[in-house]
């Protein structure tokens, strides 16, 4: 065995070199993210194949071969189906959505009165956007106007019958209008009512506590479908002849009560997560019950349960579709109802209509979800000690 | 629990029936200025919204005809879309004045539910549709032994199907779905050979198939489904009005009175029958006896047209459905549409 008799000591620093090709840039990203293990490689290949298999036909169907305008079903049907398209054609029938668009938005709301819906929508947006922006001034005034002014204005404008505005019966309402009215009322009622119920359930007063527990458990235990069904099929039989409750009102009451019960449980979760020290601290400062709750406990509790609250809102928004049971037609209901219009019946119509309805629902739900994430981040101050 | 619900419903029906029975629907409609009509929540050709969102269809036109007869204006109708269960409550509770929602006239509905049917505006029946390309040579439902049949669950359709195959000693394989859309999809994808539902429905479903010309509706009709308008029991005057509105439309077709020529015929016709119906005979009180103006038939025909016109416009050759008149042709033309005389 020969010993090394030379030693090598580098006298100066070596120049920094760029990382090997496989360790930087796109290649590195590909290697670590897509191809790092055999399993990853297999999954990546499958994924790429799926994308190739589904995305081009989908884009083709939804955009390139789609029909955007047309008078009736003939533009969305092949010659064999009684239309004008060549054999083997398959594309979205946006012409159906296009020609029914107003109906999807307003339902059967009288033509000449639709400006009233637009006006309400404009007022709503004008007051709602500053309310969402944390930096906008006059928050208190804005909130009062939004939560107390808008419902009153909306009622008089939408229903009519006063100030020379013609009466528009709620049977004629439909589409997105009904979806938004029900979910706005549901959300606006359920949050305060949910807070009250949650506080009541944790109250030390036995009667208050019992009433709240019974309400929450009964409402949570019965499906909304059942309640709406009872309200539309059974209730009219017990009322005196000719006396009927407005269908929209039945839906509003049902949805608001349900959302409140769910909301109460979400908020109770937040209340229980607040450490006992906070309650005792507030007591030791000499605060009364309401001061303690409003100043100390609720701000922290509500912040904690923002995801749960928004979850309930989104669920409520989508639950509005259940009003089809009482013969009202929200966005999804009116889209489905229009499938029965023989002038538009074609193999492509149902899919196109449902995708449109799904897209509109998604826009609203995604908007709510993003805003809640933004608020969570903004309010996330307490735990960074 | 079930019994309790039954009891409650029963009590409710009784209460509703007894309290509503005496009310004069005609006066209510007149003082309200609109007719409240229960229609389907959406059935191609019978009740569906058009591009402007207005209700159109075969049943809708009956509502419009009654409104024209009573109020002189076919547009004075408030439509209440009702589903299969809700329709009966809506009528019993007085939420609607008239139910024109492709409802089959049966004895139990006439008696137990406390309704009166004012006639038949469409003779329907359960039929079969097959894909003729896959099942070549089949021209009759009696050749369908061993077939798998797509059918909507929980309907009389399902029961009729079982009866028919058993009565003819044939085997079949039911493929049952709850929603109509699912049945359509299953039939389209070839999960079953045969689709069965009411014949009028088969024609509208055919429009949504990828290759409608490959599918044929077999000639057999295996059940009687006379569809007609219903009103509450106990108001004979109102029943008469609806009944004779329908009859007047049928008679107008017999006599060749159409939407286009009704004014002219009213003024110039010398045919005593035409003059009598259109209220032009001296001293005739036919309309007044019903509690209507004497030119009630003129209003109906001007508003919606005669029975034939309504049929062709909504479900017949003038519509995408292209349903043949069949049983619904006039008695003089091979059908069974027959109205007692107006005199």
Rounded to the nearest integer, the mean pLDDT of chain B is: 86
The pLDDT confidence band at residue B50, using thresholds 50, 70 and 90, is confident
Q: Which of A80, A325, A347 sits opposite B208 (nearest CB)?
A: A347
Q: Give pLDDT, residue B1.
A: 40
> Which residues in chain A have Cβ-Cβ distances shorter than 8 Å to B83?
325, 327
B283 vs B178 pLDDT, higher one: B283
- d(CA A19, nearest CA chain B) in Å: 56
Contact between A92 and A351 under an 8 Å Cβ cutoff? The reply is yes
> Which residues in chain A have Cβ-Cβ distances shorter than 8 Å to B211?
80-81
What is the distance, to the nearest Å, from the Cα of residue A308 to the centroid of all Cα atoms in its chain?
Answer: 13
What is the distance, to the nearest Å, from the Cα of residue B211 to the centroid of all Cα atoms in its chain?
Answer: 28
pLDDT higher than threshold 50 for residue B211: yes
A234 vs B330 pLDDT, higher one: B330
Q: Give pLDDT, residue A244.
A: 67
Query: What is the gyration radius of the CA atoms in chain A, in angstroms?
Result: 29
Total Cβ atoms within 10 A of residue B205: 22
Tokens of A326: 């009482």
Total Cβ atoms within 10 A of residue A172: 16
The pLDDT confidence band at residue B284, using thresholds 50, 70 and 90, is confident
The pLDDT confidence band at residue A4, using thresholds 50, 70 and 90, is low
Rounded-to-integer distance, Cα A384 and Cα A270, Å: 19
- Listed residue (B251, B254, B277) closest to B265, CA to CA: B277
Q: Residue A77: CB partners within 8 Å, gap ≥ 6? A: A83, A84, A85, A346, A347, A348
Q: Give pLDDT, residue A10.
A: 82
Contact between B315 and B200 under an 8 Å Cβ cutoff? The reply is yes
pLDDT digits (tens, 9 = 90+) for A250-262: 888 888 888 999 9
- Listed residue (B99, B58, B67, B105) closest to B81, CA to CA: B99
How would you label B297-312 residue by residue, b for 16+ Cβ within 10 Å and e otherwise? bbbbbbbbbbbbbbbb
Q: Is A82 an 8 Å CB contact of chain B?
A: yes
Q: Give pLDDT, residue B238.
A: 95
Q: % helix / strand / coil in chain B, to the nearest 5? A: 45, 20, 35
The pLDDT confidence band at residue B13, using thresholds 50, 70 and 90, is very low
Angstrom distances, CA of residue A380 to CA of A120, A305, A384, A385, B85: 34, 12, 8, 11, 51
Rounded to the nearest integer, the mean pLDDT of chain A is: 86
Interhelix angle A114-132/A150-159, nearest 10 degrees: 170
pLDDT digits (tens, 9 = 90+) for A329-381: 889 988 988 888 888 888 888 889 999 999 999 999 999 999 988 888 888 76
Residues of chain A numbered 132-161 and touching chain B (CB < 8 Å)? none
> Which residues in chain B have Cβ-Cβ distances shorter than 8 Å to A105?
none
Query: Nearest residue of A to residue B41 by CA position?
Result: A337
Q: Give pLDDT, residue B27.
A: 92
Q: Give pLDDT, residue A152.
A: 87
Q: Give pLDDT, residue B52.
A: 80
Q: Residue B324: CB partners within 8 Å, gap ≥ 6? A: B316
Contact between A98 and A68 under an 8 Å Cβ cutoff? The reply is yes
pLDDT digits (tens, 9 = 90+) for A266-308: 999 999 999 999 999 999 999 989 999 999 899 889 888 888 9
Q: Give pLDDT, residue A366.
A: 93
- d(CA B164, nearest CA chain A) in Å: 29
- Do β-strands B98-104 and B194-198 pair in parallel, antiparallel, or remain unpaired? unpaired
Q: Residue A172: CB partners within 8 Å, gap ≥ 6? A: A107, A108, A109, A110
Q: Give pTM, 2 decimals.
A: 0.80
Mutate to test the interface with B, among A243, A345, A346, A354 (most CBs of B within 10 A): A345
Asked if A73 and B213 come within 8 Å (Cβ–Cβ), the reply is no
Listing DSSP states for A291-334 in one string gives HIIIIIIHHHHHHHTHHHHHHHHHHHHHHGGGGGGGT--BHHHH
pLDDT digits (tens, 9 = 90+) for B186-199: 888 888 889 998 88
pLDDT digits (tens, 9 = 90+) for A214-230: 999 998 888 888 888 77
Segment A308-333 mean pLDDT: 87
Segment A308-327 mean pLDDT: 87
Q: Is A332 an 8 Å CB contact of chain B?
A: no
Contact between A88 and A135 under an 8 Å Cβ cutoff? The reply is no
- d(CA B236, nearest CA chain A) in Å: 18
Total Cβ atoms within 10 A of residue B8: 13
Total Cβ atoms within 10 A of residue B142: 12
Percent of chain A with pLDDT over 90: 28
Q: Give pLDDT, residue A383.
A: 56
Q: Is the ipTM of this complex over 0.90?
A: no
A69 vs B258 pLDDT, higher one: B258
Contact between B55 and B37 under an 8 Å Cβ cutoff? The reply is no
pLDDT digits (tens, 9 = 90+) for B233-274: 989 999 999 999 999 999 999 999 999 999 999 899 889 899
Residues of chain A numbered 85-114 and touching chain B (CB < 8 Å)? 99-100, 102-103, 106-108, 111
Rounded-to-integer distance, Cα A354 and Cα A371, Å: 26
Rounded-to-integer distance, Cα A268 and Cα A280, Å: 18
pLDDT higher than threshold 60 for residue A12: yes
Asked if A347 and B209 come within 8 Å (Cβ–Cβ), the reply is yes
Angstrom distances, CA of residue A283 to CA of A166, A205, A276, B84, B192: 56, 18, 11, 59, 72
pLDDT higher than threshold 60 for residue B92: yes
- d(CA A81, nearest CA chain B) in Å: 6
Q: Give pLDDT, residue B83.
A: 77
Segment A110-132 mean pLDDT: 88
Contact between A127 and A160 under an 8 Å Cβ cutoff? The reply is no
Contact between B16 and B92 under an 8 Å Cβ cutoff? The reply is yes
Instruction: Tokens 């009003």: give the residue.
Output: A323
Q: Where are the beta strands (DSSP E) in A97-182?
A: none
pLDDT digits (tens, 9 = 90+) for A42-53: 999 999 999 999
DSSP H or E stretch at residue B101: strand B98-104
Rounded-to-integer distance, Cα B39 and Cα B101, Å: 5
**Residue B176: strand pairing partners:** B151
Segment B286-290 mean pLDDT: 89
Q: Is A271 an 8 Å CB contact of chain B?
A: no
Asked if A340 and B44 come within 8 Å (Cβ–Cβ), the reply is yes
Length of chain A: 385
Tokens of B226: 């006379």
Query: Nearest residue of B to residue A346 by CA position?
Result: B208
- Listed residue (B341, B311, B313, B340) closest to B327, CA to CA: B311
Cβ-Cβ pairs closer than 8 A, A with B, add up to 130
């Amino acid at each position: 065995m020969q010993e090394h008799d030379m030693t090598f000591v580098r006298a100066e620093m070596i120049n920094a070199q760029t990382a090997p090709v496989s360790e930087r840039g796109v290649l590195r990203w590909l290697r670590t993210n897509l191809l790092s293990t055999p399993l990853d490689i297999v999954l990546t290949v499958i994924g790429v194949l799926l994308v190739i298999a589904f995305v081009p036909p989908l884009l083709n169907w939804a955009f390139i071969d789609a029909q955007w305008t047309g008078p009736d079903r003939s533009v969305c049907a092949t010659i064999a189906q009684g239309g004008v398209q060549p054999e083997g054609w398959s594309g979205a029938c946006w012409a159906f959505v296009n020609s029914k668009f107003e109906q999807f938005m307003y339902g059967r709301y009288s033509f000449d009165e639709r400006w009233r819906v637009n006006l309400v929508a404009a007022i709503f947006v004008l007051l709602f956007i500053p309310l969402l922006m944390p930096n906008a001034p006059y928050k208190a005034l804005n909130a009062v106007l939004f939560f107390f002014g808008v419902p009153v204005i909306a009622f008089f404008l939408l229903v009519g019958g006063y100030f020379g505005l013609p009466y528009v019966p709620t049977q004629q309402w439909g589409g997105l209008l009904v979806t938004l009215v029900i979910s706005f009322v549901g959300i606006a009622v359920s949050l305060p009512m949910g807070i009250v119920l949650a506080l009541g359930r944790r109250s030390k007063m036995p009667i208050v506590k019992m009433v709240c527990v019974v309400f929450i458990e009964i409402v949570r235990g019965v499906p909304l479908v059942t309640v709406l069904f009872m309200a539309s099929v059974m209730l009219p039989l017990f009322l005196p002849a000719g006396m009927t409750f407005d269908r929209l009102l039945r839906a509003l009451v049902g949805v608001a009560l349900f959302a409140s019960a769910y909301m109460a449980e979400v908020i109770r979760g937040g209340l229980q997560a607040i450490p006992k020290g906070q309650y005792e601290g507030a007591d030791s400062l000499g605060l009364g019950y309401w001061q303690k709750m409003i100043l100390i406990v609720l701000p922290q509790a509500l912040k904690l349960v923002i995801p749960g609250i928004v979850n309930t809102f989104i669920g409520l928004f989508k639950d509005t579709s259940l009003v089809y049971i009482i013969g009202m037609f929200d966005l999804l209901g009116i889209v489905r109802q229009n499938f029965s219009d023989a002038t538009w019946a074609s193999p492509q119509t149902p899919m196109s209509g449902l995708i449109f309805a799904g897209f509109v629902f998604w826009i609203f739900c995604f908007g709510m979800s993003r805003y809640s994430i933004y608020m969570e981040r903004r309010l996330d101050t307490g735990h960074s000690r | 629990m079930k019994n309790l619900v039954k009891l409650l419903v029963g009590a409710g029906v009784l209460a509703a029936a007894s309290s509503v029975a005496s009310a004069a629907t005609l006066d209510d409609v007149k003082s309200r200025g609109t007719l409240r009509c229960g229609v389907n929540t959406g059935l191609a050709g019978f009740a569906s919204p058009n591009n402007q969102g207005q209700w159109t269809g075969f049943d809708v036109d009956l509502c419009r005809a009654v409104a024209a007869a009573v109020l002189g204006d076919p547009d004075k109708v408030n439509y209440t879309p009702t589903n299969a269960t809700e329709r009966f409550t809506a009528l019993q509770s007085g939420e609607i004045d008239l139910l024109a929602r492709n409802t089959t006239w049966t004895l139990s509905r006439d008696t137990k539910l406390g309704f009166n049917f004012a006639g038949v505006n469409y003779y329907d029946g359960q039929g079969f549709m097959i894909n003729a390309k896959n099942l070549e040579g089949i021209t009759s439902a009696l050749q369908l032994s061993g077939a798998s049949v797509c059918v909507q669950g929980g309907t009389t359709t399902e029961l009729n199907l079982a009866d028919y195959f058993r009565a003819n000693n044939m085997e079949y394989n039911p493929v049952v779905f709850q929603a109509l859309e699912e049945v359509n999809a299953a039939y389209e994808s070839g999960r079953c050979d045969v689709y069965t539902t009411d014949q009028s429905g088969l024609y509208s479903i055919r429009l949504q198939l990828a290759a409608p010309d490959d599918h044929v509706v077999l000639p057999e009709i295996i059940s009687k489904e006379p569809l007609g308008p219903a009103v509450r029991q106990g108001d004979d005057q109102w029943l008469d009005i609806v009944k004779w509105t329908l009859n007047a439309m049928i008679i107008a077709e017999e006599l060749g009175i159409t939407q286009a020529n009704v004014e002219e015929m009213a003024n110039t016709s010398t045919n005593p029958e035409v003059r009598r119906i259109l209220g032009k005979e001296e001293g005739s009180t036919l309309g007044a006896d019903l509690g209507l103006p004497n030119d009630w038939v003129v209003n109906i025909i001007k508003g919606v047209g005669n029975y034939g016109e309504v049929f062709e416009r909504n479900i017949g050759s003038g519509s995408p459905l292209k349903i043949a008149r069949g049983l619904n042709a006039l008695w003089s033309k091979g059908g069974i549409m027959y109205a007692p005389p107006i005199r």
